Amino acid sequence: MNDKSTALPGQLNISPRLLLGPGPGDVHQRVLTAMATPLLGHLDPQFLTIMNETQEMLRLAFQTKNLLTFPISATGMAGMESCVVNLIEPGDRMVVCINGFFGGRIAEIAERAGAVVTRLEAPWGQVFEPNVIRDFLKKVRPKVLAIVQAETSTGAWQPVEELGKLCHEFDALLLVDAVTALGCVPLHLDAWEIDAVYSCSQKGLSCPPGLSPVSFSKRAVEAINRRKTKVQSWYLDVTLLQKYWGAERFYHHTAPITMIYAIREGLRLLLEEGLEARWTRHMRNYRALKAGLLALGLEYSAAGGHQLPQLNAVKIPAGVDDVSVRKHLLSEFGIEIGGGLGDFKGKVWRIGLMGHNSRPNCVLEVLAALEQCLQNQRYVFEAGGGVAAANYQYNGSGEPQATACTSPTAPR
């Protein structure tokens, strides 16, 4: 029925936002421009060339020669599920390292796939030591070890450089969650002997959500090909997907053409800048933001020496209302930051400086706005101290330090 008297929603008119939460982040203008490119058919020869280019740039971003490297046509959680259900058959043993929200989600997916899951747990915000992992591998002898490199819920940066070699010593496969890592911090699949990895499009690559880059090593592909049972998910079965992304171009699904345009441009931006330069930029802006946050008396929730430069999780001071501050930031300044998840719900703020948003103006803007919000909460700190500390850091000072006069105090 076409009832002309029914009022239709108006044309979209979105208030400007600075997305400094755990994701999505702001999309680079060049990515938005690429997304305005006219559609092609998903088997058009021009689009097949675009697919090839995207795959090759994704291999460079992952630092791998893995043939089975492509973006899953879904969000990062589909990448997580794809890696798990392809590597795991019912009855397979799997060790999942859990020190935050997303490690727990891996374990849940693995159990649904029929894995016998052993949880290796650490306090939220901490990381796992290799000798602890070694003991579990020796005891459990799993088919797969899964671990999160950049735990988005806590801001903890897990070292994974030596884990591939360690896993292979015990004939296990290493699965790494790089959702918040890719495009922000070092990630070397081949050199670190990582067998399977998944990420997303909306964080370090500065694209909209909707794609999940994955990559599988030769060792992982061999394990998949030895399966005795079909992969639990038809859509996420990489033995089928590789026929679409490989030379056969066998029809599997209609690819999200515009999103492929987007990630292609996001990868071009990453590689034009250079991986080392990108990682250095994230570290520089993290140090400035950290200096400012410490000057305001805020403490990081992740262990010292293991704090992500792209995801800053800080403890909410006593007497300060989590939701009120985040609402004030959004309504008055158009700035979004994230609240806590799981065990950290209501206890931390998560400030993202990912990809395009790892810039000095983002650092200084959020610090200035946060100061006003904290003042409204009657929280005591040195006015202007956050921005001043960040600028001091940008001008070449040493490692950020908290001072006695700016440590957290009770509200007046």
Domain ranges of the chain: 29-271, 275-406
- Residues 38-60 have pLDDT tens digits of 999 998 999 999 999 999 999 99
H helices, E strands: number in the chain: 13, 13
Residue 408 has pLDDT above 80, yes or no: no
What percent of the chain is predicted at pLDDT more than 70? Answer: 95
- Residues 88-116 have pLDDT tens digits of 999 999 999 999 999 999 999 999 999 99
Q: Stretch 289-315: mean pLDDT, rounded?
A: 97
Closest CA to 245 of 80, 64, 53: 53
pLDDT at residue 246 in the model = 85
Q: Stretch 191-208: mean pLDDT, rounded?
A: 98
Query: Which residue is listed with tokens 């293991």?
Result: 306
Domain 275-406 sits in CATH at 3.90.1150.10
Closest CA to 193 of 171, 224, 225, 226: 171
CA 293/CA 381 separation, integer angstroms: 11
Domain spanning 29-271, CATH class: alpha beta
Mean pLDDT taken over the chain: 94
pLDDT at residue 321 in the model = 95
What's at 218, amino acid-wise?
Answer: K
- Residues 347-406 have pLDDT tens digits of 999 999 999 999 999 999 999 999 999 999 999 989 999 999 999 999 986 665 554 333
pLDDT at residue 1 in the model = 53
Closest CA to 162 of 198, 182, 132: 132
Query: Which residue is listed with tokens 């090593």?
Result: 217
CA 267/CA 63 separation, integer angstroms: 13
pLDDT at residue 405 in the model = 35
pLDDT at residue 4 in the model = 65
pLDDT at residue 410 in the model = 33
Dmax of the chain from CA atoms?
71
pLDDT at residue 406 in the model = 37
- Residues 62-82 have pLDDT tens digits of 999 999 999 999 999 999 999
- Residues 242-282 have pLDDT tens digits of 999 988 888 899 999 999 999 999 999 999 999 999 999 99
Q: Stretch 108-135: mean pLDDT, rounded?
A: 97
CA 362/CA 285 separation, integer angstroms: 9
Residue 411 has pLDDT above 50, yes or no: no
> 219 and 173 in contact (C-beta within 8 Å)?
yes
What is the pTM (predicted TM-score) of this model? 0.93
Residue 117 has pLDDT above 90, yes or no: yes
Question: Coil, strand or helix: which one is 53?
Answer: helix
